[in-house]
Amino acid sequence: MTARDAALTALREFRRGRDLRSALDAATAPLTDSRERGLAAQITLGVVRNLTLLDYYIASASSIPARKIEPLTLDILRAAVYQIAFLDKVPHSAAVSEAVSAARRKLNPRAVGYVNAVLRKLSERLPDVSADSDAEKLAVLYSHPVWLVNAIIARLGVEETTRWLAENNAEPPVYARVNTLKTTAPQLLSDLRSLGVNAEPSALDGTLELRGAGEITRLRAFKTGEFFVQDPSSARAALAVGAKAGDTIIDACAAPGGKSFALAIAMENRGKLYACDTPGRVRLIADGASRLGLTNIECVTADAAVFTARFADLADAVLADVPCSGFGVIRKKPEIRFKTDAEVAALPAEQLRILTNCSAYLKRGGALVYSTCTVLQRENEDVVAAFLAQNAGFALEEQATLWTHRGGGDSFFIAKMRKTQ
């Protein structure tokens, strides 16, 4: 099996409904060469990140309407056109040749000629993108739904929206959050560099940016709990809580655990942190806490939208990082871009229920932090405004949207409220 075969397998499984990361992992498992695995991942993720644009190119060179192209044929075309358009180190002739070879093995003879004709034409020249509006053009160029592009243009304008879209399609770095109970940022930086890891301090103290590190879990410093993986924006949501040693804190939607770990470390492993989520997801948190040596975390199976009597008026602070549309983490999960407006329309009501429920867990004077990894106002500022309108005993202290193109981390929303009555 070659890298391109693995990419086609992953794209086929994703098209059939399998989780993208799971499909990619399974498809690349037979590949023994790390470079082949890397190329397969690059093609697969590149196709998903640029799907609308690739289909635009294919339609411009095709005699068959896109809706009538057989799915496997379309996979082969997309993978090849991605290489032609984006991979400078792959000669156009090689991309065409490999695609035609795959078509011979997998398709009927007539389809082989069609694939060859389309790719030959596109390898000579890719067409310019034209559209009736800025939003429609950007939606094609960066393969985002036009409704989402319009929503961001309304907030940021065309120029900044373009920068945000471009960042969403870039390869994201991995961020290591230092476990200061075991080491320091300078020491971890030195240790990682000594192993050949490309590590640099990030804009957020205590966080390192890693590139080309390979499988993070294989690093000794990870195994010994000297760091955990956490995006700076996620870390900032935890820092907004203002946790200190001896506090009682509830992380209401805790999995996979990064914010709980950051809170527990800020508490100097003292006090009590209740990390709540569904049964299977709680197991992830417990495993991570054990690796990091965090003993003040108690994992609790609890639905954040359902009242847990033992938590009533208990906490000095509650963090509610609620389920959301996820449009702030598209660069990590490119398939998120395919969510429709209708699919995410019900989320604000659920988010408000969670926020309202969690507010009952606070002591007077306690902090309530609401966060999401999305950029839609209706899931962010509007939910906070609705909560405050219904709960006179809370006051807003601060709120902000963090944008990938402005700060490097995921796009995130964070609001901090205080229980005054």
CA distance 121 to 54: 14
Question: Which strands, in side-by-side order, build the sheet including 315-321?
Answer: 297-301, 272-277, 248-251, 315-321, 362-372, 412-419, 394-402
Tokens 């995921």 sit on residue: 410
Residues 6+ positions from 230 with CB-CB distance below 8 Å: 175, 176, 177, 207, 258, 259, 261, 262
Mean pLDDT on 81-101: 95
Is the pLDDT at 66 greater than 90, yes or no?
no
Is the pLDDT at 302 greater than 90, yes or no?
yes
pLDDT confidence tier of residue 265, bands split at 50, 70 and 90: very high
Is the pLDDT at 394 greater than 80, yes or no?
yes
Mean pLDDT on 71-77: 97
Let me know: does 394 contact 217? Beta carbons within 8 Å.
no
Identify the sign of the CA torsion 380, 416, 168, 338: negative
Q: What is the pLDDT of residue 1?
A: 86
Q: What is the pLDDT of residue 67?
A: 86
Mean pLDDT on 60-71: 92
In angstroms, the Cα distances linking 369 to 237, 261, 321, 417 are: 8, 16, 8, 6
H/E stretch holding 365 reads strand 362-372
For the stretch 121-153, pLDDT in tens is: 999 999 999 999 999 999 999 999 999 999 999
CA distance 140 to 48: 13
H/E stretch holding 163 reads helix 146-168
Mean pLDDT on 325-333: 97
Q: What is the pLDDT of residue 103?
A: 95
Is the pLDDT at 212 greater than 80, yes or no?
no
pLDDT confidence tier of residue 213, bands split at 50, 70 and 90: confident
Let me know: does 383 contact 351? Beta carbons within 8 Å.
yes
Mean pLDDT on 291-309: 97
CA distance 118 to 18: 28
Let me know: does 362 contact 419? Beta carbons within 8 Å.
yes
Mean pLDDT on 317-343: 97
Mean pLDDT on 281-292: 95
pLDDT confidence tier of residue 95, bands split at 50, 70 and 90: very high
Q: What is the pLDDT of residue 193?
A: 94
Mean pLDDT (the chain) is 96
Domains recognised in the chain with CATH numbers = 3-124 (1.10.940.10), 134-168 (no CATH), 172-229 (3.30.70.1170), 233-419 (3.40.50.150)
Q: Is 373 a catalytic residue?
A: yes
Q: Which of 253, 276, 324, 373 is catalytic?
A: 373
For the stretch 333-389, pLDDT in tens is: 999 999 999 999 999 999 999 999 999 999 999 999 999 999 999 999 999 999 999
For the stretch 13-35, pLDDT in tens is: 999 999 999 999 999 999 999 89
pLDDT confidence tier of residue 205, bands split at 50, 70 and 90: very high
Q: What is the pLDDT of residue 5?
A: 95
Q: What is the pLDDT of residue 280?
A: 83
Question: Can you spell out the DSSP letters for 11-22?
Answer: HHHHHTT--HHH
